[in-house]
Amino acid sequence: MIRILAPAKLNLGLEILGRRSDGYHEIRTIFCAVSLFDQISVERSSADQVACLPPVAVPENLVTVALRKAREALPELPHARVTITKRIPAAAGLGGASSDAAATLSSLRYLTSGPIDGCQIAEVAANCGSDVPFFLHSGIAVGAGRGEQIRPLPFMPIHAVIITPRIDIPDKTRAMYSQIGENDWTDGSQVVALAERLVRHELTRPDGYLPNAFRRPLYDLFPVIGALATEIEMDLGCSVQVTGAGPSLFVLCSSAAESLSVRHRLSARIDQNRAQLHAVRSVSRPLIAESPDV
């Protein structure tokens, strides 16, 4: 049996440049894998099977999609039983489903005696979801196109506290993109500038908000999330960022000690029924084989 820790991600900035001819949106973002993990267990089986603990209510598990598309591209692959132990909040802007799919695709290499074409696996990943290709590499990277075009950046330590409001947004990605209009489109230059700061190891705590095209529609549709962000900002005296299309928020910290202190401070103020809190750090490897604790 193969056990893989699949990391969550933060978006350190996310700009939408416009709508493409294929119906998708052109984006620029910076992905950062962080130390909040699902565990993926994979073993040979007589048929493909996927189980999630605890069960997550989604129309179709992205791991199931990944297995199906992988078999279409590589019929010689053995069947697999995949068990997902969830720790990453679902549909929260943290990429858990995409990371699980990427970890599953990566694990298939270990179930076969012969080589697997890495380019084909990357193509399968891109066909599964826009964030999946990033998780084949993890670390920190610029995402372009739909998010599937990945340019790795030099790794640097990044520390943060993630705040995930306990709110359900049905069909979240589609719902949030439906709220994006031309006034939310930008040219991607802010993400380019952030990437340059990361190359120089200068992004520890930004002076203000990191760009995220979903901040306005998220706070407009769900004022309770905006109110929570304002409450945290008043308490901590720093900017609260949005990752992905939300609803997760995060605060960048200067060190692991500060992130633990911030998590402790927030846990004393924010009831667990309102939000989940996680102190995390950036992780550099695609398949993390270490303790998921900070």
Rounded Cα–Cα distance for residues 2 and 16 (Å): 37
For 238, the token pair is: 């720093």
Q: How far is CA 219 from CA 92, 173, 227, 274, 285, in A?
A: 14, 15, 8, 16, 33
Backbone angles phi, psi at 92, to 5 degrees: -120, 5
Element (H, E) at 12: strand 2-19
pTM, two decimals, is 0.92
pLDDT tens-digit series, residues 10-56: 999 999 999 999 888 999 999 999 999 999 999 999 999 999 998 87
CB 230 within 8 A of CB 53: no
List the catalytic residues.
Answer: 9, 131
CB atoms within 10 A of CB 144: 17
- Encode the chain (294 residues) as per-residue pLDDT tens digits: 888 999 999 999 999 999 999 888 999 999 999 999 999 999 999 999 999 998 876 657 899 999 999 989 888 888 899 999 999 999 999 999 999 999 999 888 777 766 677 788 889 999 998 899 999 988 999 999 999 999 999 999 999 999 999 998 888 888 899 999 999 999 999 999 999 999 988 876 667 899 999 999 999 999 999 999 999 999 999 999 999 999 999 999 999 999 999 999 999 999 988 999 999 999 987 554 443 333
Instruction: DSSP for 115-165, please give it.
Output: ---HHHHHHHHHHH-TTHHHHTT-SEEEEETTTTEEEEE-----EEEEEEE
Instruction: DSSP for 84-115, please give it.
Output: EE--SPTTSSS-HHHHHHHHHHHHHHHH-SS-
Domains located in the chain, CATH noted: 2-152 (3.30.230.10), 156-281 (3.30.70.890)
